[in-house]
Structure 1
Amino acid sequence: MDPETWMYRLDRFSHEYLDNLVEFEKAANDHRVHRGESHIWCPCTKCQNCQKFDDWHIIQGHLITEGLMSRYTQYDNHDNLDEMLDDIEDDGTYTDYENFQQLIEDNENRCKKLTKLSAVLKLFNLKANNGWSDKSFTETLEVINEMLLEGNELPVSIYQAKKITCSVHLEIERIHTCPNHCILYRNKHANLHECVTCGTSRYLRGKQTEYNSDVTKNGPPAKLVWYFPIIPRLERLFANPKDAKLVRWHADERKRDGKMRHVADSPQWRNIDHEFEEFGDEIRNIRFRLSADGINPFKNMSSRHSTWPVLLCIYNLPQWLSMKRKYIMMSFLIQGPKQPGQDIDVFLLKT
């Protein structure tokens, strides 16, 4: 049933209204858990989302006697862009004020249900999921612009679309590596042209007689690793008061009754605290779980190509949030075609 129909047109004491209210309760509770909140805000006409309760039965009674606040269904926005922009605004490390203001305007510029920013992100998601080329993506934008009314704000090329999304930026490092996984070309090895261990050329061309002193001008690297720095993302995590509270949950709110409910209840956690006392005394220190596995990005199981993403999960969080997509970070992506195997330790030294 359409949300607007049961919320505003049905008798609030009818079976249909009560059945839909039960489904609404499940959705509201899932949303509360996803956001890490311990209370539910009441959306009745009396409370207008300004009062929160622990007991759903109180809210249910309000929604039966008072009804839902007007236009409640119009607030259903699942892309969390407003929350993301609020977090970035609170982040003191963001210095590009003009680009940020443009991003705010793009998120406020609406075409029916979608903002300019959310529309571009949805189109980029389609591009990634369906393997569109840059040319086909630009042609799609051109067709959509012809379908929309004159004066619409949708970009007409992939260049313009990328300019919108690149306003919110996180660092990415492209690190050259030996194709045999011997070394990373960084620090003391940053300007080498050949691997010090196996002698393999750093570049895709293979054997060369002369090298330019600028390593970026000798052609593409034989193997590349994409590194996504963790510290900027942790800074944004702590810049959000709600997330900052959640990463202290294991120390502030976890039940301590001797039962194994959380990783913090394990002997391994206590052993780390005992061995590294200074680290254990600061509850804001992050405990990560690292996991990696090879994937085939070309959807061909017979291919020998293997790309390895390395993911980090935050163990400080409540157990119902630690595996949520929002809190899982990709630390780096080891490009194929050859899988690193036991040599993955070379890459883990970077994290």
Structure 2
Amino acid sequence: MSNTARSWMYDRLDADEYISPIFTNGLKTFIEFACSNQSFMDGDKIKCPCKKCLNRAFQEVEVAKFHLSKFGFIPNYYLWNKHGETSIGSTSFGMDDTHSPFNEHHDPSYSEMVMDVAGYDFIGRTFDEDPNPEDKKFFDMLEAADRELWSGCKKATQLSVAARLLNIKSEYRIHEQCFNAICQSMKDGLPEDNNMVDSLYETKKLIQALGLPVEHIDCCRSGCMLYWRDNKDLDQCKFCEAQRYKSSTNSSKCSRVAYTRMHYLPLTPRLKRLYASQAIVASMRWHAEDHGHDVGVM
């Protein structure tokens, strides 16, 4: 099936500005196909490819039909890949595991990851003036999600490479100096107009707008206590009296280095991200929607 065969998607209105029968029949075919692939749905909801939802928000079937009739399809959505289609016309019902959006060969959409961070309230917003600093971070992230690593690169974006590098650093415990050297080596080996990050600092700066903060908390080197809350200004452990900071000729508070530090990952922002993610939110709501009352079922 060619793009021409799906021209009905963009011939929504007839000469009298009414919904055309051709569009209505085609829409019925699309809805049937979208509802046949459960792995691309959120419960009974499907991704709505209208010009308002942009294939990002899950909607009830009737709501999606109404949106598509009112706003029309997003431009050039001839291949229904967000609903399980792998090639135009592959509308056979029943998908096997190789078509799952979570299989290992699937290339994650970093644009969708950024939209998950923004949440449903952001979708469809328009700005008549310069965005505030919080929204500006989001726009920068969205730009990075779509920014080619170099002109003509189709396999990676600036954000996707940064996210993968941070994952590799964490998994293999790569030292910061080694990470910087890898980044610089990659940058030098790419075309001159590349957008490759060149250090851990630049990588973290790019990723930080995802809103998953990390707090550093000084600890007693013997493990007695944390220098936190009421104890945050202490210079020695109140149990073993061990010194908090390493000896230094510089007495400035800003330059003092603690013997031991822990990384604290605040829970609330991470829960917010799980509820914002369209891929996970159905599981997060599972208990609240009367599914969690079966005795013996966890």
TM-score range, shorter chain: 0.5 to 0.7
Whether 1:85 aligns to 2:114 is yes
| 1:50 Cα deviation after fit | 8.1
Distance in 1, Cα, partners of 2:197 & 2:239: 49
Paired residue for 1:220?
Answer: 257
Distance in 2, Cα, partners of 1:79 & 1:240: 13
Whether 1:98 aligns to 2:130 is no
Paired residue for 2:214?
Answer: 172
**Contact 1:91–1:235 under 8 Å retained in 2:** no
Query: How far does the alpha carbon of each residue in 1:66-118 deviate from its partner, in whole angstroms, 9 at most, with x for none?
Result: xxxxxx9xxx7443423321121128799522232121111112322211210
Whether 1:48 aligns to 2:85 is no
Query: How far does the alpha carbon of each residue in 1:13-49 deviate from its partner, in whole angstroms, 9 at most, with x for none?
Result: xxxxxxxxxxxxxxx77x55xx8646788xxx99936
**Contact 2:42–2:282 under 8 Å retained in 1:** no
Paired residue for 1:260?
Answer: 296
Distance in 2, Cα, partners of 1:144 & 1:47: 34
1:255/1:180 CA distance change after superposition, 3 Å: closer
Paired residue for 1:181?
Answer: 223
**Contact 2:245–2:259 under 8 Å retained in 1:** yes
| 1:171 Cα deviation after fit | 2.5
What letter is aligned with 1:79?
P
What letter is aligned with 1:234?
L
More strand per residue: 1
Paired residue for 1:120?
Answer: 162
Whether 1:108 aligns to 2:146 is yes
* TM-score with structure 2 setting the length: 0.53
Query: Where does the alignment leave 5 or more consecutive residues of structure 1 unmatched?
Result: 1-27, 53-60, 65-71, 263-351
Supply the RMSD in Å over aligned alpha carbons: 4.3
**Contact 1:193–1:211 under 8 Å retained in 2:** no
1:178/1:155 CA distance change after superposition, 3 Å: closer
What letter is aligned with 2:271?
L
Distance in 2, Cα, partners of 1:51 & 1:132: 38
Distance in 2, Cα, partners of 1:234 & 1:255: 19
* TM-score with structure 1 setting the length: 0.46
1:223/1:89 CA distance change after superposition, 3 Å: same
| 1:221 Cα deviation after fit | 1.8
**Contact 2:114–2:145 under 8 Å retained in 1:** no
Whether 1:154 aligns to 2:196 is yes
| 1:241 Cα deviation after fit | 6.3
Paired residue for 1:229?
Answer: 266
Percent of aligned pairs sharing the same letter: 24
| 1:159 Cα deviation after fit | 4.0
1:253/1:50 CA distance change after superposition, 3 Å: farther
Pairs within 5 Å for 1:184-199: 184-199=226-241
Pairs within 5 Å for 1:1-351: 37=43, 48=80, 62-63=91-92, 77-90=106-119, 95-110=133-148, 111-205=153-247, 216-217=254-255, 219-240=256-277, 243-254=280-291, 256=293, 259-262=295-298
1:198/1:169 CA distance change after superposition, 3 Å: same
**Contact 1:193–1:215 under 8 Å retained in 2:** no
Distance in 2, Cα, partners of 1:89 & 1:115: 19
**Contact 1:91–1:236 under 8 Å retained in 2:** no
